[in-house]
Every structure is written in C-alpha cells, then in structure tokens.
Structure 1
Amino acid sequence: MLLLLAAWLWPWLARAAAEPIVRVEVGARQPVQVGQQVGIDVTILAPNYFLSAPAFPALEVPGAVVTLPDARAVNSTETMGGVLYAGIRKTYAFTAEQDGDFRLPAATIRFTYAGDDGAPREGSVTLPVTTIRAGAGGAGSTAAGGSAGRRLLPVARLTITQTLDHDPDHGVVRLHAGDALVRTVTTFAPQTQAMMIAPPHAAAPRGVRMFRADARLSDQARDAPGPGGTRVDTLTYVFERPGTYTLPAVTVDWRDPATRQPATSEAPLVKVEVAAARTAGALAPGGSAGALPGEGGLPWRTLWGAGALLAATLLAALLAALWRRLRPRLARLRQRRAERRRARAESADARLAATLQACRAGDAAAASQALGRWTRTAHGTTPAAWAEAVGDAGLSAAVASLQRHLYGPTPPSAAWDGNPLAQALARHARAAPQRRRPAEPALPPLNP
C-alpha cells in the first residue's frame, strides 16, 4: 500500500518541487581562436509554460566582445522526471580579442511562468559558471589580436566582390577628364558579425583622388550566400587629367580557421583610360569661327568653360562653408526627430496598437511580445499579473490561452484566434491622459 501510495503521489510531488532550470552551452571546441565568433546557447526551462518571455541581459566580458544578435528565440518542450518543461533559447555571439580564460558573468534572468494550478509564478535563474579558453599558444593566435596592438581579424574565410558604375570595354573603363568612377566593394564573412570585418585596403594612383564613404554593415543579408555578416564599402575615384591609370586591387585581411595563419582576399585591379575633357575645344589652323575678333585663336568655348569652372568652384566653396555651419544644427534636428519617433514607438498607446494589430492578424508570437511590452510600459508588470489584478476572468483566460498556444506541451495545429484577447484588452485599455497646459494669466495686475 505504501508503494502504491508513493507511486500515485510521485508525479504530483515532482511537479510541486519542480523549479526553473538554465543551461549554457558553448558551440565550439576549446580553446577557441582569437577573433573567432563562437555561439553561446542559453536555454531556460520552466515547468508547465511561460507567461512572459525571459529578459536576456547584455553580457560584458573584459577582453572579449559579447553581443546578442536580434534573432527570434527558439521554443521547445522537454520532459524530465515526469515533469513537462517549456524551453526558450537565445544565442549570444562571443569573440575573444586576446589569449586567456574568459568567465561569463553570473547574470540573473527573471520571468513569469504558470504554476501547477495555472496561477502566475515569478521565476528567476542565474547563469552558471562558464569559462571559455582562447588562444592557448596556437599558431597565429595573437598575430592580429588586441594583445599584439593590431586590429582584430575575423577567423573566417572572407569573400570579396566589386561592381563599377561604368561598364568596362574589353577590360578597360573609358572616361573623360573630370569624370568619376564609383567602385562598390562587398565583403562577406560566414558565421561572423559584420562589425568584425576589417576595413578593406584601397589606394589610388598618382593624379587620381579617392573618396571613401561610410561603410554599410548588415547581418543576415537577404542576398548573402548564407548566415554571416556583410560589409559594403563605396569608393569614388575622380580623374582630373587624361592618361592611362591602374586602380590597385582592393584587399581585406582575415585569418584561416584551419591553419590559423593570416590570409587575404582581393577584388581585382581596374584599368582606366581617360580621354580629354568633353568641353575642351581644339583650335583650327588660322583661328576658329568661335574666336574673339582680333585675337585669331582664343575660342569662345574656352572662355565659357573657364568662367563656368570658376563659378562652380566659388559655388562649391560657398556651399561647403554653409554646410559646415548647418551640419551641427541638422544633426541636432535629426537626433531630436529620431528621439521623438522612438518615444512615440515606445509609448503605451503605440504598444497597445501593436498588440491589437497582432491579435487581429492572428500572430501569436508578435502578440505575446507586444503585450509584454505594453503591460511593462503602462502598468509596470507582466501580462498575467495585470490580468489577475484587473479581475476579468475573460481577460485572464485570453492571456492564458495565448501562453498555452505558444509554450504549451502540445501546441494546436490550427491558427490562433486573437479576437477574444483583443476584445478583452479593449474593455480595460485606456489611453494615457493628455496633459493640460496651465491657463495663461489674464492681463498683469495694475500697480498697487
């Protein structure tokens, strides 16, 4: 009888004693290389199902770069000891800047999950002690690392391509004096963030001016060959004199993940032939029809060209001076405009509208994220706690239904219906009250 009673009570006791669990897994063999991007999977397991998404914190490790890419969390379920757990996993990107041992900070992650009775429970986990070893004296481990005083090179086989805004003619780009050639260089690093790609090396031959625009960085680009980072550099060459020029190859440095030795990828050189300017007029023997009377050789075109060039130079100088004065003001205006847009996007009304839109569209994941942001902004708590404090059974049921759909043991195959939650929110959501300006005083008082 005692054995039967213990067997009957064991699942209930296991569920009652179940607590959240956290796991940390390093996705590479150690020691890792300096400059090598390594994924660190952090998985949080909670009994039953989550009522709010865990807030994964930023991790700061001296001597290393740790980021949390903006990727959607991975949900899962797992049974341990007869207890069903819901899991949420996020992956940090870790890159060592020097040799040594790196220890992840013992950060605490808080969240809300459903207890055995379905009521909200506040949970938290603390990251366990996790050490990552980098370098360990391998060949080339500090060839480009921070300990050697040079720029950190990505440990990935980089590919580099280039495009020109002028099509070559039999391998040669043909221009006229005063023309510009735009060279767009694209560098892709597999399994590496774009911020880790070193700027490419580019030079201009004598007599050619080169201008480099700010690089454009993107991760998980649509046209990329796979997961990784993309860096786009735009180089503009201005040719002032006729002649034949060779633009050197553009190179980018990296480190071979197999041999640990420095390597280089390059975009090929470009040959350019520059003819005389289109506005230059040639003098005919004995003078031209466009020459000034009595001069016998000075054409109108040359004077007009020189005057236009002088006017353009003065206008450019004036615009440059005006731009130097206006640029700080424009920067402040853009910053204030961005702050206003960010404030509107992060306001309670905007987050409520996003929640209602996701509910009507039937997007459960987007509705859960938007609802969590709105309740934190408007009420300073989680959706489940707010619904319980309101005391509306329909609202609590709609919130619990959303969480069960996302994190329940057997998610239904049918689409999620967000109309009940949208209707429940409409009953209790209130727009933020508008602040009234104090009434301006009437005429000032008369002298006493």
Structure 2
Amino acid sequence: MMRRAVRRHGGWLAALWLAAVMFPVVARAAAAPLVRVEVAAQQPVRVGQQIGIDVTILAPNFFMSAPDFPALQVPGAVVTLPEQRALNSTETIGGVAYAGIRKRYAFTAGQDGDFDLPTPTVRFTYAGEDGAPRGGSVTFPSTRVRAGAGGPVRAGAAGTTPRLPVARLVITQAWDHGAADGAVNLQAGDALVRTVTTFAPDTQAMLIHPPHAPAPRGVRVFAADPRLTDRADDPAAAGGTRIDAVTYVFERSGTYRLPAMTVDWIDPATGKPMNSAAPGIEVKVSAAPVSGALAPSGSFGAEGATSWRNVLWSGGLLAVGLVAGLLIWRAWPFLIRLRQRWAAQRLARAGSADALFEAVLEATRAGKAKETYEALLRWTQTAHGATPTQWAESAEDRALLDAVTALQRQLFGTSRADSGWNATPLSEALQRNIGSKALFASKTSDSALPSLNPG
C-alpha cells in the first residue's frame, strides 16, 4: 500500500523535495540590502527630551564600503548624528546571512506635534555571492515621531520660555581663589573667576540653558563664551557638558554675597520644572594698598586711586592711539599723492637738460670716452633734438666740432680704448657753447624738405 501511495504521489513529493533544496539558493540569489529605522523611546515623547533613533543598514555577505549616513533636517526639531563609532552586527534573515551597520541619531522636539523623518537614499558597495563588488542602496522608510507630553513651561506673565532640557542636570563649580573661614578675601580692584560646569545625561550640550548669574550692587560681571562638549563616545558618561566662566570685579571695599547660580530643567519622570544650583559664597574686599611713591596728595589719593589712575592712563593712551590711527588713515591718500609728486619731481630733475649736461661734464672729468659720448647724446637729444655732431655743426664752433669728431673717432675708429683720449678740448668747448640757444632745427629748416611749389 505504501508503494502504491509513493507511486501515486511521487511527482508531488519530488517537487517538494526540489523546492526545499533550491529555496536557500534562490533566496540567496534574490537577497537585497535592507534598512530598519527604530525610535528608541515610547511615544509620545516630551518636548525638549532627547531620544535616540536607530538606523540599521543590512547587506548580504559583508560590506565592501561603509554607507554614508546622511544628516536629517526636520523642521521644529533638532536632529544630529553624534560622532561615535557605528555598531557592527550580523544576523540571518530567511536563511541569508546579513552584515549590519547601525548608527543612532539624536532627536529633540522643540514643539508639540508630529514629526516625519526624511527618507533619503544611501548607496554603498557589498560583496555578492561570487565575492565580486556589487552596488547597493537603501531608502529610509517613513517614520513618524510624536511629541507633546508635558506642555509648555511658563515663565510668569512674560510668556513662554524656550523648552528646557528633559534630564536631571548636575551642576558643579570652582573658584580661582581659595576660601578661608567660608569667605574669599580680596582687595579692591581684584577679580574673582567662577567656573560653573553643567552636565546633562543623554542630552546635547547646546540644549542646556545658561545658568542664572545675578550680581550684587557694586560688582561688575563679565561672562565668557560657554564651552560645549558632547561625550557621546563614552557610554558610561554619555551626555552634554556646558562650562561657563564668570568673572566678578570688585571696585570698592566691603563685604559681598555672591548668590547661588541655578540652571532650570524638567524632571523626565514627573515632567515638573526643576533646577540645580551651585552654592553662593561670601567675598570680603579690603582697601587696596596705595604706594607712597605713586600716590598723589589730596583727595585723589583715596582708596582705589592707583587702580583708577592705571585705568585712566590706559584709556588715555588708547584714545591717543585711536586718534593717531584715524588721522593717519584719513591722511594716507594725501601722503601717497605727495610721495608720488616728490618722486616725479626727482625724476624730472634727473632728466632735465641741466642735469644731463652736468653728467656730460662729470664723464669728461673722469676721462671716460664711452660714458662721455652716451651722456652727450642724451643731452643733445633732450636739449636740442639732435645728435652731438649735428649740434656741434649748428653751434658754428670749429673747436667743438673737432672735439666731438675726435671722441667719435676714439670710440668708433680702429682704437676703441679710453686710454689716449684727451677730454679737455671737449670739456672746454662744451662749457664755452652751453650758453648758445640756437637750435639745430632752425639751422636745417631750409634744407630739411624740398619746396612743394618750385619756381
């Protein structure tokens, strides 16, 4: 009977066996990358509460390039991707081994309502069944975060304050002066620096509000820019840290009480507004000692005179520097123009006929034929618009023409050395004819061009 059943249903059994054998192969061949987005908090979340959004990207076999997790922009909320290492994992889905990479986004709602996360596409490379690189991509699924528990935090009649961080804040402080008998002893003009550190677990530092820093009368307060740090890489101390430095300057003697500094937050368990405080301290300020050599006589020698005198001197020097800088800045264009004018005048004087003629005489006194001829050429061209020979001919001085001809023969004849050339005749002829105002053009105007209408 068993054989009869086998013969009757043998085809179906063979098909089922083949499907069971081939299904893992088909599943592996059809396996594709996956992505999961999970909100790591019970909804609705509180406004101002930081929660985690886990994004896990899965690829068959293993990744050959890490996926680049994009930034997420959500109106009305703050979404960041802390700089921490991604969590690697492996899991089997439908008989297929997957490699996973997970990162956690930090999400903080700034108002009530529903927030839809973006659905970007992430591309990467993973290994196929044959080990060859294969391009893959995943698109984030639609994910909604609902916020609204707790409602707004009111600040009396002034209206609604910014949302407070939902975390149990821890505040500590340090002073740059030690306390004796519960008080800090200073002198008039001294400064006291108070450093307040606020830590918020599982909260970004930028969401921590600055501490309240009231100051008593007669004390000047200066607050430095805060330092913000997110310790996301340390699971045991994950959270944000805000460090505020406040400087108090005591200008007069007396006893002062610096109040406690408080930071507001919301209890995540009850949703009630709370605050943490750094205790205040008493400051005793004595009169500043006055140096006998520097303190002036009369009423100006009262306590704090040295400090104020230094302030006045510094202010005066600063004012003088500012005025001088302003005057230089306003006068700078005029100084530039004046300097350019002086340079032009020096250049003009250097290129004038008198300066060029003086250069000729200096060259003749040195007895250098080449320099003499070059200087003479520049002078005759500038003063008379002619060559040395043409000018000498127009001067109608035979001795001058002979001296110029001798200079040219010395330079351009068979002997071209300076030695053997007598510069005295040329020097004397030049000084004798320098007063002549006759121009070469007037001597040659009759023969320069033929008449256009002869006869």
**Greater relative CO (CA pairs within 8 A, separation 6+):** 1
Q: What is the match of residue 56 of structure 2?
A: 43
Partner AA of 1:88 in structure 2: I
Matched, 1:114 2:116: no
Cα distance in 1 between the residues matched to 2:22 and 2:30:
12
8 Å CA contact 1:28–1:39 kept in 2: the answer is yes
After superposition, where does 1:49-448 map in structure 2 within 5 Å? Answer: 49-135=62-148, 138=149, 140-143=150-153, 149-220=160-231, 226-279=237-290, 308-315=310-317
In structure 1, the residue corresponding to 2:78 is in which secondary structure? strand
Q: Deviations over 1:242-283 (max 9, x none)?
A: 0000111111111111111111111111110000012366xx
* More helix by percentage: 2
Deviates more, 1:6-15 or 1:103-112: 6-15
* Alignment CA distance shift 1:52-1:319 (3 Å): farther
Cα distance in 2 between the residues matched to 1:228 and 1:218:
9
Percent of paired sites with the same residue = 62
In structure 2, the residue corresponding to 1:98 is in which secondary structure? coil
Cα distance in 1 between the residues matched to 2:82 and 2:96:
31
Q: Deviations over 1:179-238 (max 9, x none)?
A: 000000000000111011011110111110000000000011899971100000000000
Partner AA of 1:107 in structure 2: P
Deviates more, 1:229-238 or 1:120-129: 120-129
Cα distance in 2 between the residues matched to 1:79 and 1:65:
34
Q: What is the match of residue 445 of structure 1?
A: none
Q: Deviations over 1:317-368 (max 9, x none)?
A: 56899999xxxxxxxxxxxxxxxxxxxxxxxxxxxxxxxxxxxxxxxxxxxx
Paired residues in the alignment total 310
Cα distance in 2 between the residues matched to 1:197 and 1:81:
46
* Alignment CA distance shift 1:42-1:214 (3 Å): same
Q: Deviations over 1:4-53 (max 9, x none)?
A: 33233222111101011111111111110000001000001000111111
Deviates more, 1:79-88 or 1:7-16: 7-16
1:313 Cα offset (Å): 3.2
1:144 Cα offset (Å): 6.0
* Alignment CA distance shift 1:241-1:88 (3 Å): same
Cα distance in 2 between the residues matched to 1:204 and 1:124:
58
* Alignment CA distance shift 1:320-1:83 (3 Å): farther
Cα distance in 2 between the residues matched to 1:238 and 1:5:
88
Normalising by structure 1, we get a TM-score of 0.63
* Alignment CA distance shift 1:323-1:225 (3 Å): farther
Q: Deviations over 1:392-434 (max 9, x none)?
A: xxxxxxxxxxxxxxxxxxxxxxxxxxxxxxxxxxxxxxxxxxx
Matched, 1:29 2:42: yes
In structure 1, the residue corresponding to 2:193 is in which secondary structure? strand
In structure 2, the residue corresponding to 1:312 is in which secondary structure? helix
Q: What is the match of residue 438 of structure 2?
A: none
8 Å CA contact 1:279–1:305 kept in 2: the answer is no
* Alignment CA distance shift 1:181-1:8 (3 Å): same
8 Å CA contact 1:213–1:234 kept in 2: the answer is yes
1:298 Cα offset (Å): 9.3
1:297 Cα offset (Å): 10
Cα distance in 1 between the residues matched to 2:225 and 2:305:
38
Partner AA of 2:313 in structure 1: A
8 Å CA contact 2:49–2:109 kept in 1: the answer is yes
Cα distance in 2 between the residues matched to 1:39 and 1:226:
16
Normalising by structure 2, we get a TM-score of 0.63
8 Å CA contact 1:151–1:198 kept in 2: the answer is no
Cα distance in 1 between the residues matched to 2:30 and 2:178:
71
Segments of 5+ residues of structure 1 without an aligned counterpart are: 282-288, 325-448
Cα distance in 2 between the residues matched to 1:221 and 1:315:
49
Q: Deviations over 1:268-324 (max 9, x none)?
A: 11110000012366xxxxxxx9999xx89998x999777545323334556899999
Which structure is larger by alpha-carbon Rg, 1 or 2?
Answer: 2
Cα distance in 1 between the residues matched to 2:113 and 2:323:
51
Segments of 5+ residues of structure 2 without an aligned counterpart are: 1-13, 327-455
Cα distance in 1 between the residues matched to 2:121 and 2:260:
50
8 Å CA contact 2:229–2:240 kept in 1: the answer is yes
1:141 Cα offset (Å): 2.0
8 Å CA contact 2:165–2:208 kept in 1: the answer is yes
Partner AA of 1:252 in structure 2: V
In structure 2, the residue corresponding to 1:5 is in which secondary structure? helix
